[in-house]
Amino acid sequence: MTDLMLENLSVGTLSNVSLTVPGGQVVCLSGPSGSGKSRLLRAVADLEPHGGRVSLGDAVQLDVPAHQWRSRVVMVPADSQWWFDEVQGHFPDDAASRLPSALGFPPEVMGWSVSRLSSGERQRLALWRALALQPEALLLDEPTANLDSETTEAVEQWLLGEIRQRQIPTLWVAHDPGQIRRVADAHSRIHGTSLEPANGSD
C-alpha cells in the first residue's frame, strides 16, 4: 500500500501542512472559499511553487520530473481542460467498451463534441479520464460540484469503489458535510494559515 505524504508544506498563505493519506483512503479537505484548498492540491501535483516535502511511497516529488510526477499524482481540477474537438480524442481507443454505468453516459458519448458537454458532463468525463490514466494518487477538487444529488451519490460510490480496489490515496476537496460523511476516512479543515484535523464532517 502506497501512502501520499505531505510534510511541512507551504503554499500561498498556508504553512506547515503535514498530512498522510494512506493507500485506498480518502482524506477530505474543507475550508472557506479562498482559503487555499485548490492551491494546496496544485502544490501536491507540482503545479505551483511551494515549500516542504511531498512523497508517494519511496518517490519524492523533488526527485521526479514534474510531468512524470503529474502522471502518477493526478489532479482533477474544478474546471477541466480539453484539447481535442471530440471526447474520444482524450481516451484510449477501447474506452467506450469500459464506460462505467455510474457515469450515466450512452456509448455514443465518445463521438460527442466537447463543446456540447454540460458542466456536469465535463466533470464526470474528467473523472473518468483521470482514472483511465491509472493514477497512483488522486487529487479531486470538488469533483461533484456540478452534479445533482442523485448523480453525486452514484459518482461517489463509483469513485470510492475504484479508490478502494486500486488502493489509491486520495485528497478530496469537499464543501458538503453530507458528502464528507459519506466518503471521508479522515477530514482536515483550513483555519487561517493552517490545516487542522476536523471533527467528523464539521
Ligand X SMILES: Nc1ncnc2c1ncn2[C@@H]1O[C@H](COP(=O)(O)OP(=O)(O)OP(=O)(O)O)[C@@H](O)[C@H]1O
> If binding is defined by CB under 6 A, does position 129 make contact with ligand X?
no
Q: Contact with ligand X (CB under 6 A): which of 17, 25, 37, 64? A: 37
Give least dist CB 134 to ligand X, A.
26
Give least dist CB 101 to ligand X, A.
30
**Residue 32, SS3 per DSSP:** coil
Give least dist CB 111 to ligand X, A.
33
Interface stretch with ligand X, choices 33-41, 89-97, 105-113, 131-139 (CB under 6 A): 33-41
Q: Contact with ligand X (CB under 6 A): which of 39, 70, 122, 166? A: 39
Alpha-carbon gap, residue 57 to 10, rounded angstroms: 20
Q: What residues form DSSP beta bridges with 75?
A: 139
> If binding is defined by CB under 6 A, does position 197 make contact with ligand X?
no
Q: What residues form DSSP beta bridges with 196?
A: 189
Alpha-carbon gap, residue 97 to 21, rounded angstroms: 32
Alpha-carbon gap, residue 6 to 22, rounded angstroms: 11
Cβ–Cβ contacts within 10 Å for residue 65, how many?
9
Give 102 or 190: the residue with its C-beta nearer to ligand X.
Answer: 190
> If binding is defined by CB under 6 A, does position 30 make contact with ligand X?
no
> If binding is defined by CB under 6 A, does position 104 make contact with ligand X?
no
Distance from CA of residue 142 to its chain's centroid?
8
Cβ–Cβ contacts within 10 Å for residue 94, how many?
7
Binding stretches for ligand X (CB under 6 A): 12, 31, 33-39
